[in-house]
Amino acid sequence: MNIEKIKEVLEEHQGFRLKQAEKNIYLDLIDDWQQSTVLPSNIKEELNKECPISIEADLFSSKNKKTVKAVINLEDGLKIEAVLMKNRDGRNTICVSSQVGCSLGCKFCATGKMGFKRNLTFSEIVEQVIFFARLLKKEDEKITNIVFMGMGEPFLNYDNVLKAIRKLNDKDGFNLGSRNFSISTAGVVEGIKKLSSEKLQVNLALSLHAPNNTIRSEIMPINKRYPLDNVLKAVDDYIEKTGRRVMFEYIMIKGVNDSNKEAEEIAKIVKGKLYFVNLIPYNSTGVFEASSQERTASFRKILEERGVSVTQRFSFGKDIEGACGQLANKNK
C-alpha cells in the first residue's frame, strides 16, 4: 500500500476525492477500492491499478490467540514485522516497526543482529496499523494503543514516525488519541529533545536495561555515543517541559543486569522522579538467558521497597517468537 501515491493519483481530480479516499482507508478500512461507496468507478479502477490497498503479510498467532504477529512484505521485497497484543483489560496494542533492521546492535536483540537496511516510509509505518485495524474490525474490535517498539530506533527515522503519528491522530481520520501512542528510544538524545518541543502528548519510553555505563555499554553500544548521564539529563528536561511520566524499560537478563546490587542502583536513579520501571522478561535470542521468576520478583521487591513504581510485562507471544526482530530475521 502506498498512501503517498494515492495523493499523486488524485491530484488530477477534485479536491474532495482525496478526503473521500482517506476516509475509505482510515475509517471504513476497505482493502479494495471497489468497496468504496463514494468514489466513482473510473477513479476506483484508476486507484486499483495505480495504488492497490491490499497488504501482503504472513500471520502467526500464539496458542492463546492473544498475540498475533504479521510479517509484512514491502514493495522492494524486504520484510518488517508488527505485533498485535490483546490485553486482558480489553486494550488492543499494536507494536510497530520504524526501520527495516537496526543500526544500534543491542546485544540482546535479534533485529540488532540483522543490521540496518533502511528507514520505513510514512506509508509503510501507517500500513502496519491499518493491517491490524482491518483484522480487528472483523471481530468488531479496534486498536487502542500504538507503541513504537518494533524493529528499529524510531528517533533515527524521526520525521516519518512523527508524520505517521500525526496522521493516525487526525480527528477526521483514524482518530487515535495522542496519549495512546508511545515511542521507545534506546537513548537518542537529539530525538528526546526534539519530542519535548512537539505539540503532541505522546508517551516516551527509554530502553534503560542497565543501571550504569559499564553494563549498558556492554549490551547497548549506543551508550558509548550517548552515555547514561546525558540520556537521563535529556529525559529530565523532557519531563520538566512536558510534565509527562517516562517509562524505563528493563529487560531482565540472567547474570547481566538482574542482581540485587543492580536493583539498588536503579532505585537510586529512579527514586523521586516522574519515572516508572517496566520489567520485561527476556525472550532468548541465543546470546543470553532470561532471569528466573524468583530473581525478577526479588529485583522488583527491592525497587518497590525503595518507593519506585514498577510494572511487569508478562511475556507476549513467546511461542511465535514475539521478541523484536526474531521472525523477520529468520525469514530473511
Binding mask of the shown chain, residues 149 to 168, with x at each position contacting ligand SF4 by CB under 6 A: --xxx---------------
Chosen residue from 324, 326, 328, 329 binding ligand SF4 by CB under 6 A:
324
Q: Does 327 bind ligand SF4 (CB under 6 A)?
A: no
Could you tell me the strand order of the sheet in which 92-95 lies? 57-61, 67-73, 79-86, 92-95, 145-148, 181-185, 203-207, 246-252, 275-281, 310-312
- 324 is annotated as an active-site residue: yes
- In the set 22, 51, 81, 321, the catalytic residue is 81
Q: Does 112 bind ligand SF4 (CB under 6 A)?
A: yes
d(CA 145, CA 179): 9
Nearer to ligand SF4, 109 or 235 (CB): 109
Q: Binding segment for ligand SF4 among 55-63, 75-83, 102-110, 266-274 (CB under 6 A)?
A: 102-110
Q: What is the DSSP string of 119-172?
A: EPPHHHHHHHHHHHHHHHHTTT----EEEE-SSS-GGGGHHHHHHHHHHHH-TT
Nearer to ligand SF4, 157 or 169 (CB): 157
Q: CB count, 10 Å around CB of 19?
A: 14
HEC string of 254-286 equals CCCCCCHHHHHHHHHHHCCCCEEEEEEECCCCC
Which residues within the stretch 203-232 sit at the binding site for ligand SF4 (CB under 6 A)?
none
* Residue 55, CA distances (Å) to 30, 32, 59, 75 in order: 11, 10, 12, 10
d(CA 93, CA 146): 6
What's the min distance (Å) between Cβ of 162 and ligand SF4?
A: 18
- 8 is annotated as an active-site residue: no
What's the min distance (Å) between Cβ of 116 and ligand SF4?
A: 9
Q: Does 192 bind ligand SF4 (CB under 6 A)?
A: no
Nearer to ligand SF4, 33 or 181 (CB): 181
What's the min distance (Å) between Cβ of 26 and ligand SF4?
A: 27
Q: 283 is written with which cell numbers?
A: 525472550
Q: Does 281 bind ligand SF4 (CB under 6 A)?
A: no
Q: Does 106 bind ligand SF4 (CB under 6 A)?
A: yes
Catalytic residues: 81, 324
Binding site for ligand SF4 (CB under 6 A): 102, 104-106, 109, 111-112, 151-153, 186, 324
